[in-house]
Structure 1
Amino acid sequence: MPRKTAAGFVIFRRICGKIEYLLLQTSYGIHHWTPPKGHVDPGETEMITALRETQEESGLLKGDIKIYENCKKVLNYEVSGVPKIVIYWLAELINPNAKVKLSDEHQDYKWLNIEEACKYSEYKDMQEVLAEFDSFINKECVS
């Protein structure tokens, strides 16, 4: 059975010395909260997919974010019996004037601290990604 691959960014911003994460609420299914991500189209790299999906789902452009390519996490799970791989990179919002503009796939968004982001994300593997990326930010991205 072919596996599905998706890619996206866990996007954070710095506000008054605090770190906040962007989560989008889906407008379908159980209305779960997730970072921007989507399926890899034929001929696309995972990075190109992550950039395209981020723009489509949140309105944020490549120039609005700084991508930490050395901070990457790969999740493996099943959706309706089909194996799925999701690749996330960490990205920082560097354009303070950039506004989130949702697509039809999402009905709401929030910038949340790490505790709130983990609560909203609900899924253990996503909570682990958030915690790992938060640790990276606090140790590596001190500038």
Structure 2
Amino acid sequence: MPKIEKSAGAIIFRRENGKIFYLLLHYPSLTHRSEKSFWDFPKGHVEKKESEIDTVKREIFEETGIKEIKILKGFKEKIKYFFRWQGQTVLKFVTFYLAETPQKEVKISSEHLDWCWAEFKKAYSLLAHQNSKEILKKAHSFLEKIYCKKSLTFSTISEGEK
């Protein structure tokens, strides 16, 4: 019987000159389910008596230093996967939310190697895991629909990339 873990995370984006940039974190090897380093979204374990949203906000701050965050209503995606950790099979459930920030500067925690803001195609190519790629596609599609309907109502940020 596998051990069960529950996590929550976010696809974080910011806008600049009409473009959407997604935040990716570079995880070292031997973390989570990979034998080599990989790029992914910020996420972490849901602690006892903590809501998923509280987990997302806490993890975003702990992993990126980002304080100013707006979680968008209407986007919530769940994935599950198995991995082996210390000889044990783990079944992990992760709920992802979509979050906007005006903050460009990121201060990663010691558990990460690097970070980057990337447009959709670059972010998609950097992501190592297929389920992360699918979540990114869904998030990007969701944002495109919002922008078409609401005519660019999100804040515009006029700064360069990392």
TM-score (norm 2): 0.81
* 1:69-80 alignment runs, 5 A limit: 69-80=73-84
Q: Is residue 13 of structure 1 aligned with residue 14 of structure 2?
A: yes
The structure having more radius of gyration, on CA atoms, is: 2
Which residue of structure 2 aligns with residue 106 of structure 1? 112
* Cα shift at 1:24: 0.4
Which residue of structure 2 aligns with residue 67 of structure 1? 71
1:90-117 CA deviation, whole Å, 9 max, x = no partner? 0111x34x52101001110010111111
* 1:1-143 alignment runs, 5 A limit: 1-29=2-30, 30-61=36-67, 64-80=68-84, 81-93=89-101, 95-96=102-103, 99-141=105-147, 142-143=152-153
Whether contact under 8 Å (2:40, 2:128) holds in the other structure is no
In structure 1, distance between residues paired with 2:58 and 2:107: 14
1:59-104 CA deviation, whole Å, 9 max, x = no partner? 011xx121113111100111212110011100111x34x5210100
Unaligned runs of 5+ in 2: 31-35, 154-162
CA RMSD in angstroms, aligned pairs only: 1.3
* Cα shift at 1:50: 0.8
In structure 1, distance between residues paired with 2:19 and 2:4: 38
In structure 2, distance between residues paired with 1:25 and 1:2: 25
1:28-74 CA deviation, whole Å, 9 max, x = no partner? 4222111111011122111111111110000011xx12111311110
In structure 1, distance between residues paired with 2:37 and 2:128: 11
Amino acid at match of 1:54: I
TM-score (norm 1): 0.91
Whether contact under 8 Å (1:28, 1:105) holds in the other structure is no
Amino acid at match of 2:21: E
